[in-house]
Amino acid sequence: MTTDVTIIGAGLGGLTLARVLHLHGIPATVYEAEVSPMARAQGGMLDIHEDSGQPALRAAGLMNEFRGLILEGRQAIRVLDLAGTVLLDAADDGTGGNPEVLRGELRQMLLDSLPAGTVRWGHKASGTRALGAGRHEVTFADGTTVTTGLLVGADGAWSRVRPLLSPATPEYIGMSYVETSLFDADTRHPDSAKAVGSGSLFTLAPGKGFLAHRERAGTLHAYVMLARPRDWFANIDFTDSAAATARITREFDGWAPELTALIADGDTAPVLRPLYALPIEHRWEREPGVTLLGDAAHLSLPNGEGANLAMYDGAELGEALAAHPEDIEAALTAYEQAMFPRSAAAAAEGVQVHEMFYGAGAPHSLITMMAGHEQTP
């Protein structure tokens, strides 16, 4: 393959694509807005699914390295009610197929698997334009540009590459989460640590809830979910951590203190994360020399699939390009024709999961679903 490959975004999807191409002897350059791999925290726990994330890592030749990152016991799940009463306590018996890893460690594993210089840090894409004959130009925030014969947008929800293919923009789904962490929780926050248990905690009610994961070294990573308009959150000054924490905590008056402590006693400043989604059936007509993967292509309601699908997209695109090295358009067509229905199905499932978690039947709708999974052979 002689076409130069430019990937915008060094997230899990873009890096998986670069790794699979590297294994097939196809060089690629990844441009990333962050100035270094450690420029910011990379998020919390990810369960890597046996039908998407794991096949992608297998295609990338990294399964052994991946197994070394798995945090044992983290597939355990607890569901508590608002008073802190345990409704479901499912231990991790070692037979689950979706092991948990830290997103930052997974990303670093992918970075370490690439040749030096593959990722160009500190390159924030500010715009793109078509040059004709399948070539495109990317402009970066510092005024520099690059032209390429194959441009892949792996640059997330607010992709600068997407406008080349689609006018769609993400829309707010009516819910946001506020993220915080508690450190050395077994010693400093024992009641919350006990509530979370050894894996994940779900305490849900219509329109709100707490999700938390146990990470390394006794860290609890918590997500406080609230169905509120953007304007409601805009009236909270998140630069004043104490005031913002107090305001969010008031939305959970009457809930068990070991639950509200997940936000009230956080050891990090609360971070607002508004949730957006693209249309479920988002797709585009084939345009020469450019495509999308991951959230740039199919941002959806959170359902545990986002990172997995991004990696799967990256692996599938890499394999398609390796299978059609002299016919880039055939490779992109094959990739997109498989990706569109796959991502639409995942997005539709995300809507169902969202209703299960935060709809009128919460939390019992989640318990019913989990009981059904346990009974499925």
DSSP collapsed to 3 states, 203-231: EEECCEEEEEEECHHHCEEEEEEECCCHH
Dihedral of CA atoms 120, 123, 128, 132 in degrees, nearest 10, equals -30
Which residues lie closer than 8 Å to 290 by C-beta, 6 or more apart?
A: 130, 134, 136, 150, 151, 152, 153, 161, 164, 165
In the chain, how long is the greatest CA-to-CA distance?
A: 64
184 is in an annotated binding site: no
Structure tokens that stand for 161 in this block: 């590459």
As a whole number of angstroms, the distance between CA 372 and CA 374 comes to 5
Q: In the Cβ-directed half-sphere of 228, how many Cα atoms lie within 13 Å?
A: 20
47 is in an annotated binding site: yes
250 is in an annotated binding site: no
Q: What distance lies between CA 5 and its chain's CA centroid? A: 24
Cα–Cα–Cα angle for 100, 75, 297, rounded to 5 degrees? 50
Helix (H, G, I), strand (E, B) or coil at 162: helix
Helix (H, G, I), strand (E, B) or coil at 153: strand
* CB neighbours of residue 191 within 10 Å: 15
129 is in an annotated binding site: no
Binding residues for NADPH: 40
Annotated binding-site residues for FAD read 47, 103, 295
Annotated binding site: 40, 47, 103, 295
